[in-house]
């Protein structure tokens, strides 16, 4: 299908794992992904688990805020975007594309106003490299 669908699948997997670490991947979701998109989603899921991803997010949270205070969906959208930006290597899309994809996920799955929070944090966090 597309990288957009792969990001959506990756978000669902991360969300599911956060609520239940023993959960299995959502098999019916992968039926709609082409092999290259499934590989991209798997790479995003793996990259989102890197400790530096959470560290980069924490650096831009308000003082005295922690990741545990974030909505589970918002937190995992941020993880995916930061992971894609810092761990995609030469295949990395432009920062604007990553932020836009995260905003669209937030509009679909996040709470009211989530997309504004995600946009602001990612605009600061996705710098350099």
Domain boundaries, the chain: 1-123
- Helices 3-19 and 95-109 pack at an angle, to 10 degrees, of 60
What are 106-123's pLDDT values in tens digits? 999 999 999 999 999 999
Asked if residue 68 has pLDDT above 60, the reply is yes
User: Token match 């019916």: residue?
Assistant: 28
For domain 1-123, which architecture applies?
Answer: Orthogonal Bundle (1.10)
8 Å CB contact between 11 and 73? yes
Tokens of 77: 């959208």
Chain Cα centroid distance, residue 8 = 9
pTM of the predicted protein model: 0.90
**pLDDT digit string, tens, across residues 71-114:** 999 999 999 999 999 998 888 899 999 999 999 999 999 999 99
Q: Which two tokens mark 123?
A: 């605009």
3-state SS of the chain is CCHHHHHHHHHHHHHHHHHCCCCCCCHHHHCCCCHHHHHHHHHHHHHHCCHHHHHHHHCCCCCCCCHHHCCHHHHHHHHHHHHHHHHCHHHCCCHHHHHHHHHHHHHHHCCCCHHHHHHHHHHHHCCCC
pLDDT at 30 over 80: no
Burial bucket for residue 100 (CB in 10 Å: 0-12, 13-18, 19+): middle
């Amino acid at each position: 299908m597309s990288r957009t669908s792969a990001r959506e699948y990756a978000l669902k997997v991360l969300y599911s794992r956060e609520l239940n670490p023993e959960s299995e991947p959502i098999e019916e979701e992968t039926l709609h992904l082409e092999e290259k998109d499934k590989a991209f989603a798997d790479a995003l899921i793996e990259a989102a688990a890197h400790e530096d991803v959470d560290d980069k997010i924490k650096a831009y949270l308000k003082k005295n805020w922690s990741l545990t205070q974030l909505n589970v969906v918002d937190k995992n959208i941020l993880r995916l975007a930061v992971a894609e930006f810092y761990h995609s290597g030469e295949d990395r899309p432009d920062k604007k594309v990553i932020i836009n994809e995260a905003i669209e996920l937030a509009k679909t799955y996040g709470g009211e106003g989530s997309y504004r929070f995600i946009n602001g944090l990612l605009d600061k966090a996705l710098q350099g490299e």
